[in-house]
Amino acid sequence: MNTPSALARTPLYDWHCANGGRMIDFAGWSMPVQYGSIMDEHNTTRSAVGITDISHMGRLRFEGPGAAVFLAELLTRRVADMALGQVRYSLVTNEAGGILDDVLVGYYHNSYGQPYYVLVVNASNRLKIVKWIQDHLSEERANKPGEEILFTDVTSLWAMFAIQGPMSVELLQPLVDEDLAMMKYYRGAQAQILHPRAQRQGGIVSRTGYTGEDGFELSVGATVATAVWEALLEQGKSLGVLPTGLGCRDTLRLEAGMPLYGHELSESINPIEAGLTFACHLVGYDFPGRDALLAIKDKPLSRVRIGLESTGRRVAREGAAILLNDQKIGEVTSGTFSPTLQRPIAMGYIGAEHAEVGREVLLDIRGRKESARIVELPFYSRQKKGK
């Protein structure tokens, strides 16, 4: 498809175009939705390993003695108690408790032993969050003696890859000097990239992902991104690695019951109804929206996020009405055909009083009603090794 030149490009743009990437506009970035079949790319991630260019994700860096407290006063999750190498899922909320973004915050040391935090934000929200941070980071605060804060948007300097699937340790280990098998889930480290063309550069590797599979996310300098990407594909041939696009990233995260900003999350949805209470620490530092969330938490919920499985083959997509006894009780926020379950799945919001697992509902799919059932999230959980 033709892509307007105004779209932002990741360091791998030329590689995607030269290797069959079907480029689409995703949040203002020209990104590959798929290279071949979404179903193949999905199944490869579940059974072997896939690598996805996620360099469109915003990366915001915070340094200085005041960084920890500043982030603690910005995010719904505790930050000040994070151990070195720890990663946490968190939200950024507005004063009303509405969700501005969902983010990962990681705490690392650079090669000189200086601590820093990296906030990974959604591409679609990056400029909004940068402005939100700037609005909360006065010059006076940033330069307060002994509590200085240095904030930098480093998105364009770093490429980021998702390396996801049961063979991800085997694929990535030869390229980094960290012992990946020992790395726990939601931990990470600044690592040395072990590749002749990586020019002795460092990167960040973390055991995180958005697929419901074991895997890692790797940040490397933009200038060596293509070399590292090609090395992963070359070394991973025997493992059956595939480059995977944003199409299967969506089907994988949906099966894993993970919300996507702009669908399950928005400024008019609060974390409690989104099922993300675990990501809100309401008794520590005061952050925008904390008081609102304390009030919301003690009231009955008006709506909740649910999972739906259909018995037919037609897929309920965003905006499809959820009906009970001919009354609309909610709306689908995203839906797809699940390659793993081989049936349509969807997430949506319905009135909390109706949210009973096992309940049969109807979905209005383009004017025709299809039956579906409320199910527990996630739709898919991987078998954990040795547990």
**50 near another protein (CB under 8 A):** no
Rule CB under 8 A: which of 342-371 touch another protein?
366
Rule CB under 8 A: which of 18-37 touch another protein?
33-34, 36-37
Q: What angle do CA 56, 60, 65 make, to 5 degrees?
A: 165
Distance CA 43, CA 268 (A): 34
**310 near another protein (CB under 8 A):** no
Binding track, positions 228-267, relative to another protein; x by CB under 8 A: -------------------x---x----------------
How many C-beta atoms lie closer than 10 Å to residue 332's C-beta?
25
Tokens 């990681």 sit at which residue? 106
Question: Bridge-partner residues for 8, per DSSP?
Answer: 29
Q: Please, which residue, 297 or 317, has the CB nearer to another protein? A: 317
CB of residue 124 vs another protein: minimum separation in angstroms? 18
Reported in sequence order, the residue ranges of the chain that DSSP labels E, i.e. its strands, are 22-26, 29-34, 50-53, 58-63, 87-93, 99-109, 115-121, 150-153, 158-164, 188-192, 202-206, 215-221, 242-243, 303-310, 321-324, 327-338, 343-351, 360-365, 368-375
CB of residue 337 vs another protein: minimum separation in angstroms? 4
Candidate list 57, 218, 315, 347; residue touching another protein; CB under 8 A: 315
Distance CA 277, CA 271 (A): 6
Find the part of the chain contacting another protein (CB under 8 A) among 179-187, 223-231, 285-293, 334-342: 334-342
User: Are the CB atoms for 282 and 293 separated by under 8 Å?
Assistant: yes
Candidate list 89, 116, 186, 337; residue touching another protein; CB under 8 A: 337
**197 near another protein (CB under 8 A):** no
CB of residue 42 vs another protein: minimum separation in angstroms? 8
As a whole number of Å, the end-to-end CA separation of the chain is: 45
Which structure tokens are listed for 273? 């109804």
Tokens 């501005």 sit at which residue? 100
CB of residue 175 vs another protein: minimum separation in angstroms? 31
CB of residue 37 vs another protein: minimum separation in angstroms? 5
**211 near another protein (CB under 8 A):** no
**339 near another protein (CB under 8 A):** yes
**374 near another protein (CB under 8 A):** no
Q: Please, which residue, 39 or 194, has the CB nearer to another protein? A: 39
285 secondary structure, DSSP code: S
The single-letter code of the amino acid at 196 is: P
Q: Please, which residue, 342 or 383, has the CB nearer to another protein? A: 342
Residues that bind another protein (CB under 8 A): 1, 33-34, 36-39, 42, 247, 251, 313-315, 317, 336-337, 339, 366
